[in-house]
Structure 1
Amino acid sequence: MKRKDFIRQASFLAASSFLLKAQAFSQPSKPLRVALIGVNGMGWSNLNAILKVPGVVCTALCDVDERVLDKRIKELAERKITVKRFIDYNEVLKNDAIDAVIVATPDHWHCLQMVEAVKAGKHVYVEKPLGNSIKECEVMTAAAAKHDKMVQVGQWQRSQQHFKDAIAYVQSGKLGKIRLVKAWAYQGWMKSIPVKPDVSVPAGVHYDKWLGPAKKRPFNPNRFHFEFRWFWDYAGGLMTDWGVHMLDYALMGMNVSNPKSIMAAGGKFAYPDDAAETPDTLTTVFEFDDFNIQWEHANGIDLGPYERNHGVAFIGNNGTLVLNRQGWEVIPEKGRMEAVPLQKSVDSGLDKHMENFVEAIRKNDKKHLHAPVEAGAHIAIFSQMGNIAYRTKKKLFWDSDKRKFDDPEANKFLAATYQNGYKLPEG
């Protein structure tokens, strides 16, 4: 073979190899088949985000409210996507044509569904907060490890570039000694929930399947769909709904885990007579060795610290870094450092989070996950500590070795009480 022909052929083979690799990356030969359990609200957003990833297909939808379920199936059909229809999530998990599930049900269902999903050999994307109690989070972590499946928690800011950049700046030391970290959620859209009478279960709603392990109660629209967040039977209010997002970055920035003590004070100050149970106004202080983390939330008002309705502020001797979903900036102490103007968000955190989940599955590498189950458990437990301090009205001390508080009353809140024949699953 002549030298020029050899070079030409070698170049052709190299280019062909590169093209084949590129095609394999952009269009995987084997599709990732996904089912959505809980098709309203955030579940629907999650599904639409993961369907943007090449090679992902939706094969099934599951919900206990047939009205919403049929609406979503119709919407997918209009996009030429045909799916199987399920009411019982157990039937989804038995289906061999499903590789991964998105669990976007109310908080009190997360533990059962995630644990049973990994036992069934499915990868899981589970909405935040990971669990509805400290014990649930521990069980879920153990199950994910035992069954060796990918579990990504829906703390999508962990995949967003400007959050990563902000934390890198915090850890650079430029702010000087950080003595206080504030995290908050001021939610002006959260209006009073008027008291409503119990009513008959709406047609198409499988209410017993919705209640699951929660206390048996008559159907009340205030406790259903989105509003379940404000009732202790099913969730933990803004402390766990938004706290897991903002406090996650407080802990990450300071590179810490368990607090020495937890105190909380608040109540239903904005809407004392409405239907919600969880506090609409709350301040929680987590004590560490040489700094504190402070959580605040308030319903019905938007003007939070630094004129932001949500965020995290790292308050140092030289200046303060303020971070939220829109971007981050540094406000200097006069004469001590230079200001950093607002560094705006440049990407979709949810889209990138789903890309990361799919890539981790394809690489079969848990270390690739941006929000693995351990991270989700850690911040969910941390937020639950704040709620338990509020509910006991005590300053609490956490024993990391014994995995409990120093107070018997507080330890009663470590595990949710499962009812209606359901039991806390084993890892």
Structure 2
Amino acid sequence: MDPLSRRSFLSKTVTTAAVASAASIMPRVAGAAGPNDTLQVGVIGVGGKGRDHVKQLSQLPGVRVAALCDVDPARIANGQSMLDDAGVKAKHYQDMRELLDDPEIDAVSIATPNHWHALATIWACQRGKDVYVEKPVTHNLWEGKQIIDAARKHNRVVQVGTQNRSDTGFRAAIDYIREGALGEIQWMHGLWFKDRGSIGHVTGPQPIPAGLDYNLWTGPAPLEPLMRQNLHYDWHWDWDTGNADMGNLGAHQLDDCAHALDIASSPKRFLCLGGRFAREDDGQTPNMQAVCFEFDDAPPFLVEVRGLTESAGSRKLPNVRGVTAGNVIQCENGYFAGGRGGGAVYDNSGKLLKRFPGDGGAGHYANWVEAVRSRNNEGLRAELAVGVRSANLCHLANLAFRSGQPASVEEVKSRVGQRGDALETIDAIAAHLKANNVDLDRNRLTCSEWMEYDPQAMQLSGADATSNAIANALVKPGYREPFVVPEQV
């Protein structure tokens, strides 16, 4: 399914990244708003998630959404309409660089497509702005160090939008498990199942929405004709701009696993499987994907995302122990099932032991604002380095998948082996695909070998030479001038 096939990789030269100079970008010499000042925030990207930023930030005391930026004027207008009732007239920008140069803006929230997250955050840090940025905080592995270096060098407070870390119920459940109430954790399974319909198929370039600056929208990515029906949102399913659902909805579950298991190291090894099934459309990324991670100092976990209903023609979604979006944490003497919004713990027979009602992470923005005022990163629940580690898990999963090869269900099961509920999950995925009229003998799963990652060298290994080369070529892709993530931040 992947456009970067083994054959095309061997016949094409991988584009090397350009080296950028940051000499023309001068940091703003200004401090953040003081404890008693109104924090002037600019929202960059005013689509669906960006409008949530506008709503949530506007409700916080001492915070004013003072600027809106989007390459699409229609989206700026939608964002402004949310502020009109409060009598707030924000400044409007189409180019984020102009907003970032505004000395009246103290901080920014970033809800752009994924391929812009790192560069926008680095630019903001260089101009003295604190940042709230959506997940995944990076679009590839290489950007992680660059974005952390920028935040540290310019002394910025950066929070990542993995708001489950602020959910009161999930946090309480993690504390309960860590106190030993259920014994040792054995494994964890994160999942998000959502019906993802076809994005359609086009036979030629499509028109760009009126007034939208397509050059700015494309930014660091290759400037190519629009070859799908919808520019907005469906960028998730294009590798140049998105990270598949594993880096979209799955990013929350990967972060939940890292949070619950207190993971602060790179995985010992990992394997990813999946494919794009039951959809003849222009999407490049898998709509069924599962990744297994193993660590030296933590229990194993599996995260899966599925984009099909329970069966062809059904509107119902599958579930794991009653969960369609969340986590199962299996312990010696019971398990937790739930996620954002809380959940409950059960004994191993399924008897309810305790409920943990949550709030969906409602305090995540306020947590950031408090840290901005105090200049104390230690209070952040999703500080940048934490967000980078979780984003790296997304990228490792996708790199393993993109370097994988077709395999039968039995081959996949043999490769994965018995760990946690992995074999049960593979059987469930196969049954799910069969119920959606997918013939896995003709349309096989793509599965990687078990791979390893050296975070210092930023190199993947463990598979055959070609698979390793495919994965490593994607660690640091090329950038388009002048939208280049700089070597020196």
| Counterpart for residue 4 of structure 1 | none
Equivalent of residue 384 in structure 1, options 388, 391, 395: 395
- Separation in 1 of the partners of 2:206 and 2:137? 31
| Counterpart for residue 403 of structure 1 | 458
| Counterpart for residue 194 of structure 1 | 200
SS of structure 2 residue aligned to 1:225? coil
Letter in 1 for 2:338: L
SS of structure 1 residue aligned to 2:321? helix
Equivalent of residue 181 in structure 2, options 174, 177, 187: 174
| Counterpart for residue 378 of structure 2 | 367
1:144 and 2:145 correspond? no
CA-to-aligned-CA distance 1:54-94 (integer Å, 9 cap, x gap): 11111111110012212322442343111111111110011
Distance 1:33 1:283, change over 3 A: same
- Separation in 2 of the partners of 1:255 and 1:348? 20
Which deviates further from its counterpart, 305-314 or 406-415?
A: 406-415
- Separation in 2 of the partners of 1:231 and 1:221? 10
Gaps of 5+ in 2: 1-33, 310-316, 405-447, 462-467
- For these two proteins, the number of residue pairs brought into alignment is 395
1:193-232 aligned at under 5 Å gives the runs 193-196=199-202, 197-222=204-229, 224-232=231-239
| Counterpart for residue 357 of structure 1 | 368
- Separation in 2 of the partners of 1:320 and 1:314? 5
Cα RMSD for the two superposed structures? 1.9
- Separation in 1 of the partners of 2:261 and 2:482? 43
Distance 1:74 1:288, change over 3 A: closer
1:56-205 aligned at under 5 Å gives the runs 56-188=63-195, 190-196=196-202, 197-205=204-212
Equivalent of residue 319 in structure 2, options 304, 307, 315: 304
Question: TM-score of the superposition, structure 1-length normalised?
Answer: 0.88
1:30 and 2:37 correspond? yes
Distance 1:421 1:94, change over 3 A: closer
- 1:244 to partner: Cα distance: 1.9
CA-to-aligned-CA distance 1:269-319 (integer Å, 9 cap, x gap): 232x12211101112111224742111111022222112211111112211
Q: Percent identity?
A: 31
Letter in 2 for 1:141: I
Letter in 1 for 2:154: H
| Counterpart for residue 353 of structure 2 | 340
Distance 1:265 1:221, change over 3 A: closer
Distance 1:400 1:212, change over 3 A: closer
**Which structure has more helix as a fraction of its residues?**
1
1:248 and 2:255 correspond? yes
Contact 1:132 1:416 in 2 (8 A): no
- Rg bigger for which structure? 1
CA-to-aligned-CA distance 1:191-228 (integer Å, 9 cap, x gap): 12111342232321111110011112113454521111
SS of structure 2 residue aligned to 1:81? coil
- Separation in 1 of the partners of 2:78 and 2:184? 53
- 1:412 to partner: Cα distance: 1.1
Distance 1:78 1:253, change over 3 A: closer
- Separation in 1 of the partners of 2:101 and 2:154? 16
Contact 1:28 1:55 in 2 (8 A): no
- Separation in 2 of the partners of 1:353 and 1:229? 24
Question: TM-score of the superposition, structure 2-length normalised?
Answer: 0.77
Distance 1:418 1:180, change over 3 A: same
